[in-house]
Amino acid sequence: MKQTVYDLSAKGKKVYIRVDYNVPMNEKGGILDDRRIRATLPTLEFLLKQGASLILASHMGRPKGSFVPSLSLRPAAERLSALIGRPVKMAPDCIGDETDRMKEELQAGDILMLENLRFHSGEEKNDPAFAEALIRGCGLAVNDAFGVSHRAHASIVGVGRIMPMAAGLLLKKEMDFLGAAMDQPERPFAAVIGGAKISDKIHVIANLMEKADVILIGGGMANTFVAAGGYDMGSSLLDRDRLDLARDLMKRAEKMGVRMLLPVDFVAADQFSEKAKVRIFQAKDFSDPWMALDIGPKTIKIYVETLKKMKTIVWNGPMGVFEMKPFSKGTYAIAEAMASIQAVTIIGGGESAAVVDQLHLADRFTHVSTGGGASLEMLEGMILPGISVLAEKRDDAQ
């Protein structure tokens, strides 16, 4: 079992915390969505109550080792200050003499935000010297950045190899639900998998077949499965070189006794546009130039009725092109159905998390993951570098 902040004695300590404040920004430098910042508040407040001082490290965007003013973490520091109700000091860099001096001056209850980690190439290269510089002057280390825990970067893996690292409360929650709950789900257990391409989710589907009772397929990848069954999907998006793979997955599901549900009808358009002509098609009725852009009303009814019987549901990936209003009904219906079901409901990050935020439903789910790529890799059954590097729990606290 991995160590968490509950196992630390943080009083009087300077605690290095890797957070994920890579939040979406507008052109004027304003934060569009602060969910990732808010998600770390329980960890920060827990350590502050113990009498610690906090040194926060994060990346923003992809500056590729160069200083890019528009990718500064200053707006994140300002938003955190407003959310947590105390000043957040801003370091000029994430390493260096001036930053070290600011660390030394920290008193209990103080918070220091380091500047963008990716302004230095050593972060993505997992440079040990860079990791050493990051935690200089720190007594404890915490990883609360699930969204980048699938990356073997210096601020997480490099630090964890130098100093024992504990999981923050956000990372603990992700491990509890995407890890432990996936291994021992309350049954029946359904996985709802959407998105554009089967190639993006093949490992997720294969892993979930070992665990789920029902798999519901939507999005562009559903077109490939339906086409693999011998149907002409017109101008719909297809992974044409994955048709054999789709057939193999369907056969494997049948052998394992896992129900794999595919759409029986689609919302189709004559062009990829919000202003396109729209029709409802069954798979056998498709022809050019029509393309499937959402699951149809019969499919929505079947999927929702199936989900109502479940005790655990994991959802990753939209059912259609939800960004366009005519093709959003399938995705929204899944979100609304899951929000109203008495079950363990887990959103696996990415676009699915964006949808439930957009519909203001996030607080009606058991867990909404903060990581897109990281949650996908956990659903694939992979062990993330940022989790494997965590210190093992022991009887004596630090």
Q: Nearest-5° angle of CA 210, CA 214, CA 217?
A: 105
Q: Which amino acid, 77?
A: A
**84-94: b or e for each residue (b if 16 or more CB lie within 10 Å)?**
beeebebbeeb
Q: Is 350 a catalytic residue?
A: yes
Pick from 338, 340, 343: nearest CA to 311: 343
Q: Which position among 65, 96, 373, 381 bears the catalytic label?
A: 373
Q: Is 197 a catalytic residue?
A: yes
Rounded Cα distance, 116 and 68, in Å: 9
Q: Which amino acid, 173?
A: K
Residue pair 135/163 in contact by the 8 Å Cβ criterion: yes
Rounded Cα distance, 5 and 137, in Å: 19
| Phi, psi dihedrals of residue 15, rounded to the nearest 5° | -105, 120
Sort strands 265-269 and 291-295 into parallel, antiparallel or unpaired. Answer: antiparallel
Which DSSP string corresponds to 172-226? HHHIIIIIIHHHS--SSEEEEE-SS-HHHHHHHHHHHHTT-SEEEE-SHHHHHHH
3-state secondary structure of 90: strand
Rounded Cα distance, 347 and 315, in Å: 5
135: tokens are 């935690």
Q: Which position among 38, 197, 252, 259 bears the catalytic label?
A: 197
The angle, 0 to 180 degrees and rounded to 10, between the axes of the packed helices 41-49 and 74-84 is 60
Q: Which position among 220, 296, 349, 350 bears the catalytic label?
A: 350
Sort strands 265-269 and 278-282 into parallel, antiparallel or unpaired. Answer: antiparallel
Q: Which position among 2, 13, 18, 36 bears the catalytic label?
A: 36
Residue pair 115/60 in contact by the 8 Å Cβ criterion: no
Q: Is 373 a catalytic residue?
A: yes
Residue pair 12/142 in contact by the 8 Å Cβ criterion: no
Query: Which residues are known to be catalytic?
Result: 36, 197, 350, 373
